[in-house]
Chains A and B, each alone.
Chain A
């Protein structure tokens, strides 16, 4: 079945550092790919998405590119802020499946 694998956390960085959170997936066909963010005590919010190969999703300074050849969708940000501290989930929506498949989540902490 479809699956998503994220880099292990937690990840701790200093403010203004460069961020990469790795995400790879296994799916039949061409899924849609998402990054969701969960701030403390809140539900998940969509951060960005990509629906086909080579698409780049972007939002709030975060970017991720749908790489079909490496089945990856890595999340990047050039300069993180304390307010980016949260749990980040990579997810996919496969053809014919009525659900999102999530990775295990990566907890990010940004220190001032």
Chain B
């Protein structure tokens, strides 16, 4: 089954304790992206990757890191989490990305992070 898998689904942690949210897709997609969803703001892009070893900042990259060492995996790293990073996070992938493309993105089921 084609899917985007995120782990963990839920995490409660404390300020400053490094954490990683994993994202894996089994569709051989080149493009992957991370979004955060906050009430009243919709989804905002954090980072994206056009292919292996190619990553770039989205609209809200502060406090986050990513890596793309393999095509299928795109982990999101919070080196020193803070309470304002409490949010619902989604990983997404699509075959490629072209400007104005109509390729839909496939989304994971989300990771709810609470930073105390």
Binding site for B on A (CB under 8 A): 4, 29-32, 34, 36, 41-46, 49, 51, 89, 93-100, 102-105
Contacts and interface: CB of A to CB of B under 8 A. Distances in A.
Contacts of A95: 99-100
A103 B42 contact: yes
Contacts of A89: 42-43
Top 9 nearest A-B pairs (CB, nearest first) are A43-B107, A102-B42, A46-B104, A95-B100, A96-B99, A51-B102, A95-B99, A99-B45, A102-B43
Contact of A93 (B35, B41, B102, B109): B102
Interface string B75-116: 000000000000000101000010111101101111000000
A4 B44 CA distance: 12
27 contacts: A32-B101, A34-B104, A36-B107, A41-B109, A41-B110, A42-B109, A42-B110, A43-B90, A44-B92, A44-B107, A49-B102, A49-B104, A89-B43, A94-B99, A97-B99, A98-B31, A98-B33, A98-B48, A98-B99, A99-B58, A102-B35, A102-B42, A102-B44, A104-B40, A104-B42, A105-B37, A105-B42
Nearest to A43: B107
Contacts of B62: none
B66 interface: no
Contacts of B101: 32, 93
A93 B42 contact: no
Interface string B42-84: 1111001010000010110000000000000000000000000
A95 B31 CA distance: 16
